[in-house]
Amino acid sequence: MYWQSVSDFLAMGQHGPYVWGSVLVTAALMIGEPLLIVRHRKAVIARLQRQFRADQADRQRRTNALESSIMSGSRN
Amino acid sequence: MSHRLINWFRYASPQSFYPLAGRMIPWFWSLAAIFGVAGLTIGFLLAPTDAQQGEGYRIIFLHVPASWMSMFVYLVMAFWAALGLAFNTRLSGMMASALAPTGALFSFISLWTGALWGKPMWGTWWVWDARLTSELILLFLYIGFIALQAAIDDPRRADKAGAILALVGVVNIPIIYFSVKWWNTLHQGASVSLTRSPSMAALMLWGMLLCALACWMYTIAVALTRARTIMLERERHTEWVHALLTEKN
């Protein structure tokens, strides 16, 4: 270990604000980016799944309508 | 020979690349964390102080890996873009789009940490010299690439336009790299070079190399995750995406 104490470490020999300013912004960006892309990915998957379900329901409705029209046609 | 070729092109299709990338991503995240913790421990806890710059030099463990990555990522992005233009493969454009935001992030980190390093060492946050200005242009190239692709609705045309911009911009990379040799600049020369032994203590060098490796692993993990999302969006009309997302329920 190079440092004598925690305050030594934090002071960084009078360069503390520069060093920690670099560390904080780098850490925020490199933690923030993965969180954002995972959130975006989940949103895309949810949107596509909603869309697929809606398409499915739409197809089902059309099939039902077709069937019922055929049925009523055969009754006449 | 033909067998190997077929295998290569198999992974160029999103359908087979998607699950492969999904299996690899956790490994890259783990490696990024391991290398990152090791590199930062060496850089911030173990490495000795610098004789000229004092403790402020420790910004090097963030600045140099980020700067390297900002240039490497651009080269990789341009490589994918060129492949896409030459072979018209679907995957290439997706990979180029997936890399651009991370490249922009690294050039921003490079500029930000550079400014915070420049202030105590040179007495100024910013100078319009060759190294700093060309790195700023790199950030603008990334932003231009992202904006251009976002402005074109058809993804295949967006890929082509972006690819041309990416390829033209490649000329900036040697300019950044050699700027400290070609022009007089405040920026110091390369700390690590292929042609001579590094001008720094072994422990410092190890810390920096480990941080750079962590950035590599991070970039691969992020780019693959982003590419997988782009694949789902662009291939949403295909059978495999439909099957994948409906069976998840």
Q: For B198-248, how does the pLDDT look when each residue is reduced to its tens digit (9 = 90+)?
A: 666 788 888 899 999 999 999 999 999 999 999 999 888 888 888 888 875
* Cβ–Cβ below 8 Å for A15 and B54: yes
Alpha carbon separation from B147 to A31, A56, B161, B224, B229 (Å, rounded):
23, 35, 11, 21, 18
Does any CB of chain B come closer than 8 Å to the CB of residue A54? no
H/E run at residue B100: helix B90-122
Mapping DSSP to helix (H, G, I), strand (E, B) and coil, where does residue B242 land? helix
ipTM of the complex: 0.84
Q: Does A49 contact chain B (CB < 8 Å)?
A: yes
> Three-state SS string across A23-57, please?
HHHHHHHHHHHHHHHHHHHHHHHHHHHHHHHHHHH
Q: Are B178 and B134 in contact (CB under 8 A)?
A: no
pLDDT tens, B103-146?
999 999 999 999 998 888 888 888 888 888 999 999 999 999 99
In contact, B142 and B104? CB cutoff 8 Å: yes
Q: Touching check for A3 and chain B: CB below 8 Å? A: yes
From A63's Cα to the closest Cα of chain B, the distance in A is 20
CB contact under 8 A, B55 and A30: no
pTM over the 0.90 mark: no
What is the predicted pLDDT for the residue at A15? 83
Please name the member of B55, B108, B236 whose beta carbon is closest to the beta carbon of A13.
B55
User: Residue A18: its chain B contacts at CB < 8 A?
Assistant: 56, 59, 116-117, 119-120
